[in-house]
Amino acid sequence: MSTCERCGATFHCAMADNQASSEAGGDEAPCWCTHLPPVVPVPRQEGAKEGQTATAAVGCWCPDCLKAHIAALRR
C-alpha cells in the first residue's frame, strides 16, 4: 500500500506497489492514474528546487486528491 503525500490516506499504486511484485516475477498492471488525463503536472513540494525531478519532490496522491487537483486545474 502507498500513502498519499497530500492527505495521508492509504491506497494502491500499481507503479509503486507492484514494483516489488514484478521484481519477484509477478504481473505488472498499469496504475489507475494512467486512466486520468496525462496533462496534469505533478506539483513540487514547497521548498523543492527548480530542476528537481517530480519523484524527488513528491510521491503519489490518492485517487480522491488527484481527481480534486485535476478538477481545480480545470476551473
Which pLDDT band, with edges at 50, 70 and 90, does 63 fall under? Answer: very high
Q: Which residues contact 59 (CB under 8 A, 6 or more apart)?
A: 2, 3, 5, 16
Q: Is the pLDDT of residue 10 over 90?
A: yes
Angle at 45 between CA 57 and CA 75, to 5 degrees: 120
**Structural domain that includes position 19:** 2-74
7 in Cβ contact with 62 (< 8 Å): yes
Domain count, the chain: 1
The predicted model scores a pTM of: 0.61
Contacts for 40-47: CB closer than 8 Å, 24+ residues apart: 40/66, 40/69, 40/70, 40/73, 43/69, 45/5
Position 51 scores a pLDDT of 55
pLDDT digits (tens, 9 = 90+) for 11-47: 988 887 766 555 555 556 778 888 888 755 555 555 5
Position 30 scores a pLDDT of 79
